[in-house]
Structure 1
């Protein structure tokens, strides 16, 4: 018995040691900065790459200084506050070196060696090259310093115990610069580099485990974003946001302007287009489009027809039809055809019939607003109806839209609408 206990203790110690090693390991690729001086064009490239990563989107609080941090990144475990990226010596990156910045981006560790919370998407940024990281750091060192103290995360126990991040990292993080796929051409690889790295698309579009980790096998397979009350659709499903059958130029239009003949961005994706993608050059947008178009697509589910039978459902849909005619038909048409690309069609619209129905419900409650971009400076917007329609009425209108003109979504209920109405988002 004693020997068994000793053996179990030894296995436990070894297991803890392995977890500690895996959780703290670093990839030393590019660990030393280039000795070549940063030239003027590198600053411009750095500004471009920082835009590509949408760093300002998280590292600028509402009403705060640009890149000065302090914005809450809401997670299922609590809030993590973005840090100050300005070159202030006391509160920002003023005393950091290019090696320190590389370590944070590539290995997910702060200047003092602390493990960083993955609300900062270093599982994606680890793919960024050392040359690009140095250019980004050079740009950040050139902006106006802002003295603003960093806030500690506000996380529930035990997620507020930073040493436990070693376990998370052992399970879900492996550092490594993007390695080109030799079976693909340069354009595809450039798109993969941007989508997988700075674009960190799978941070929203991938399902997460109970501990908030993503698995490669479900990369970009769609996910509910509970902290934002939004569904990021699967890029691998033709029934959701898969684009294998789209022309490349239509995908590029959606990424660059926020609108395309078959879709319009709204919610968190509109923020990404507004703050980041519209500033990328045509060559990079095309490369991302080529990569997204080439993603393997899951088999389409068998077509189905929603259950709309019975007097109760008939009454709901009749109410929904009346509400649609009164509030929606003027723009979207009696036949749901819309006026693409400015006013999207509802007939055959994948986002309308997706499960869960959160995006359609939120659009009716809170409005739909494509981003204002260089290519579409005055987009059409849909006003919110939640301030004068009840939960029952919103549910009826959404149910009618999800089941009309060949759409095959299920009906939604008033309690379901109430849950989304109650979510208070900053």
Structure 2
């Protein structure tokens, strides 16, 4: 009898928890609407939406290279499995053509689609919740005036229990901080504009902040560095590994042009960012730079002095900069450092110790964040896969060495570069990292120099949101 009562109590408790979780997870469907007439949106509103979509880099995730823009289907690798981006063209059957503005606002604010299904936070609604209703309205107008594309993305490849969307309600309860952006009255209007763009649609922290085991950004390590699509997103706070500290001017130039003379060219997912920011006015670029520079803070005297020394060396010309050392080829055959120096002299020095300036010349490695970073993943990626050129315009380019150098060759080369061009400690397990990267076990996305994903029928017309 006692056992029966205990069992009944447990079952009742389970039922109460299940009912409570269902109430937490359930979201109502928002009724479909007739496809919006593109002419119902003003041109100014659509253009505002285009600029905002560029800030959000929407086209990058929602376009498969070579396929129509915003039609979705791009595979997004995550620690929990592969998610495929959704079709956000105004097609009423496979896209969001039957979404009302109310449904779009809810997706941006709460991460719930029109049908009431929770969206995976690969769509960064934990940042988009800060976007104003007015800006969401402009984004909606922009997307509803794109070319409708009938295209159904592949199903997500997620193991149990991650394939159960209701569990996302629990994730949101723990990690989703709802509510619009709140200006800091102690800061300038320019700073607040930059914070709004960077923390909201720009979702800089989605890549540049570490994530916990549940895939949520660690707010106590804001801008402390993270990972995106096989690339390291460097720390952009006081822990930035850049040999030359960033400031507002250098950040603004980099975001506008995709390169800077003391920092090199953008690559990987960051190339997408700088490529898409071309639609923004200079005032917004400077605002973002102002905010990020304030998070980085002022460098201390020792770091400032070292930066001035490095810039002075670079200004002296190629003959005065650390060059690849002369190596006895017989002795170098078995010594990793000497082997690395030989490889550097033959494969790298011609560009990186030359006199050709950025963005077309190779950055001096004494100035390279990749060589000075705690994690060598980015420099491994560039050595193996190079920097593909952008479409139809002059751009930075670097050959890929994956078919020329062995895993040990690359490891020796990078060990030499770390020793010669950085005061940081040696990297460990380089051969294993190179092998994993080359094999595809560690998935790396390689993009053209300008980073922009283009749909063949939407070039120039689109730059736009959901997962």
TM range (shorter): 0.7 to 0.9
Give the CA deviation at 1:278.
2.4
Counterpart position of 2:408: 392
Q: Does 1:353 align with 2:372?
A: yes
Give the CA deviation at 1:151.
3.3
Q: Which of 103, 107, 130 is residue 106 of structure 2 equivalent to?
A: 103
Counterpart position of 1:234: 235
Q: Which of 383, 386, 402 is residue 367 of structure 1 equivalent to?
A: 386
For residues 225 and 432 of structure 2, the distance between their equivalents in structure 1, rounded to whole angstroms, comes to 24
Counterpart position of 2:119: 116
Counterpart position of 1:316: 336
Q: Does 1:332 align with 2:332?
A: no
Q: What's the secondary structure of 1:224's corresponding residue?
A: strand
Give the CA deviation at 1:297.
5.1
Q: What's the secondary structure of 1:399's corresponding residue?
A: helix
Q: In 2, are the aligned partners of 1:207 and 1:222 still within 8 Å (CA)?
A: yes
Structure 2 unaligned blocks of 5 or more? 29-39, 304-330, 446-467
Counterpart position of 1:306: none
Counterpart position of 2:279: 279
For residues 395 and 110 of structure 1, the distance between their equivalents in structure 2, rounded to whole angstroms, comes to 46
Counterpart position of 2:424: 408
Q: Does 1:142 align with 2:145?
A: yes
Give the CA deviation at 1:379.
2.4
Q: What's the secondary structure of 1:49's corresponding residue?
A: helix
Give the CA deviation at 1:218.
1.6
| Alpha-carbon displacement from aligned partner over 1:388-422 (angstroms, at most 9, x marks no partner) | 11111111111111110454241453222111211
- 1:4-43 correspondence to structure 2 within 5 Å: 38-43=41-46
Give the CA deviation at 1:349.
2.4
Q: What's the secondary structure of 2:365's corresponding residue?
A: coil
Counterpart position of 1:417: 434
Q: What's the secondary structure of 1:198's corresponding residue?
A: coil
Q: In 2, are the aligned partners of 1:43 and 1:138 still within 8 Å (CA)?
A: yes
For residues 148 and 19 of structure 1, the distance between their equivalents in structure 2, rounded to whole angstroms, comes to 34
Q: In 2, are the aligned partners of 1:191 and 1:284 still within 8 Å (CA)?
A: yes
Counterpart position of 1:379: 395
Give the CA deviation at 1:62.
2.4
Q: In 2, are the aligned partners of 1:23 and 1:170 still within 8 Å (CA)?
A: no
- 1:246-325 correspondence to structure 2 within 5 Å: 246-263=246-263, 264-274=265-275, 276-296=276-296, 315-325=335-345
Q: In 2, are the aligned partners of 1:236 and 1:242 still within 8 Å (CA)?
A: no
| Alpha-carbon displacement from aligned partner over 1:206-256 (angstroms, at most 9, x marks no partner) | 11111111132122111134xx2221111113442598x433221111111
- For normalisation by structure 2, the TM-score amounts to 0.77
Q: In 2, are the aligned partners of 1:259 and 1:370 still within 8 Å (CA)?
A: no
For residues 223 and 13 of structure 2, the distance between their equivalents in structure 1, rounded to whole angstroms, comes to 36
Q: In 1, are the aligned partners of 2:375 and 2:427 still within 8 Å (CA)?
A: no
Q: What's the secondary structure of 2:251's corresponding residue?
A: helix
Q: In 1, are the aligned partners of 2:243 and 2:368 still within 8 Å (CA)?
A: no
- 1:175-254 correspondence to structure 2 within 5 Å: 175-225=178-228, 228-240=229-241, 245-254=245-254
For residues 45 and 366 of structure 1, the distance between their equivalents in structure 2, rounded to whole angstroms, comes to 36
| Alpha-carbon displacement from aligned partner over 1:301-320 (angstroms, at most 9, x marks no partner) | x99xxxxxxx9999111111
Q: In 2, are the aligned partners of 1:22 and 1:169 still within 8 Å (CA)?
A: no
Give the CA deviation at 1:70.
1.3
Q: Does 1:66 align with 2:82?
A: no
- For normalisation by structure 1, the TM-score amounts to 0.84
Counterpart position of 1:90: 93
For residues 297 and 257 of structure 1, the distance between their equivalents in structure 2, rounded to whole angstroms, comes to 23
Structure 1 unaligned blocks of 5 or more? 27-36, 304-310
Give the CA deviation at 1:350.
2.6
Q: In 1, are the aligned partners of 2:376 and 2:427 still within 8 Å (CA)?
A: no
For residues 299 and 160 of structure 1, the distance between their equivalents in structure 2, rounded to whole angstroms, comes to 45
User: Considering only aligned residues, what root-mean-square deviation do their CA atoms show, in Å?
Assistant: 3.2
Give the CA deviation at 1:174.
2.1
Q: Sort the Cα spacing of 1:143 and 1:313 in 2 relative to 1 into closer, same or farther, 3 A.
A: same
* 179-188 vs 15-24, greater mean Cα deviation: 15-24
Q: What's the secondary structure of 1:41's corresponding residue?
A: helix
- Indicate the structure whose relative CO is greater, using CA pairs within 8 Å and at least 6 residues apart: 2
For residues 195 and 313 of structure 1, the distance between their equivalents in structure 2, rounded to whole angstroms, comes to 49
Q: What's the secondary structure of 1:290's corresponding residue?
A: helix
For residues 206 and 24 of structure 1, the distance between their equivalents in structure 2, rounded to whole angstroms, comes to 30
For residues 298 and 193 of structure 1, the distance between their equivalents in structure 2, rounded to whole angstroms, comes to 22
For residues 150 and 393 of structure 1, the distance between their equivalents in structure 2, rounded to whole angstroms, comes to 40
